[in-house]
Amino acid sequence: MQLKVTTWNVNSIRLRLDLVVKFIKATQPDILCLQETKCPDDKFPLKRLKRLGYEHAALNGQKGYHGVVILSRLPFESQAVEHFCGKTDCRYVSVTLGERAGLRDPLTLHNFYVPAGGDVPDPEINPKFAHKLAFLDEMRAHAKLKPARGERAILLGDLNVAPLEHDVWSHKQMLRVVSHTPIECEKLTAACAAGGWVDMMRVLTPEPAKLYTWWSYRSPDWAASDRGRRLDHIWTSENLADRVSRIEIEKSARGWERPSDHVPVTATIEL
């Protein structure tokens, strides 16, 4: 069985629903994990997406900010919402697929939207950055994010950290910029290691190749300057690592009309 799973920070589902539909029709993922939907659950445009085959949805949204969702052609065995740092700010949702989806062994997906952290990389004067660091610490410590031996799991989403030297356009110039500061990179790497996760994008495209999934709106010509960052990630538990046959970054989506600053990333998994 082949499973295609996409992660995409859409920066408002209602503003970019037509782009989501365009992407779905072209790529046909089995599961679509969205972040920053900025939409309460009762306003989410499920009807249109169900017509495209996404009959199953796990929602965790709120008005105007944040929000995550998992849309699927396959039924879930269960779904869960959890909160981090004592805040109900809609940054995490998970689902488990099993026999109802035609899988002999269960598969759990964790969809995250890690706080961006503001502009000043100092937790003493910037509460947003302090929140981000605390969030990453909770990810590292959370028992649910440490798959047991033999457990099949995927952790993905907008993790808002570009952890490696070649995940940004200029390592030297980005060291004091939120998303690539040493403390953020260390904490994200620690969360990955604590769960025994495998960073599949870098398995399939090792450094020193550059990998980006985000280009700033502030750049007047993002394509020419190509000053990107790899903020979106797909990690797998160890026993799935050899099952990921392909990961595609849909860079062209950054050039669509009224785009998100993030682009879709799709993994193809042979189960």
Residue 92 amino acid letter: Y
pLDDT of residue 219: 83
pLDDT of residue 220: 80
Tell which residue, 11, 18, 109, has the closest CA to residue 66: 11
Cα four-point dihedral sign 32, 219, 64, 88: positive
- pLDDT at position 247: 98
Residue 248's pLDDT is 98
The one-digit pLDDT tens for each residue of the chain (271 residues) are 999 999 999 999 999 999 999 999 999 999 999 999 999 999 999 999 999 999 999 999 999 999 999 999 999 999 999 999 999 999 999 999 999 999 999 999 999 999 999 999 999 999 999 999 999 999 999 999 999 999 999 999 999 999 999 999 999 999 999 999 999 999 999 999 999 999 999 999 999 999 999 999 988 899 999 999 999 999 999 999 999 999 999 999 999 999 999 999 999 999 9
Domains delineated in the chain: 2-270 (3.60.10.10)
Q: Are 167 and 211 in contact (CB under 8 A)?
A: yes
pTM here?
A: 0.98
Find the length of the chain. 271
| Distance in angstroms (rounded) separating the CA atoms of residues 135 and 251 | 28
- Using alpha carbons, select from 207, 112, 214, 113 the residue that is nearest to residue 153: 112
3-class state of residue 43 by DSSP? helix
Report helix, strand or coil for 195. coil
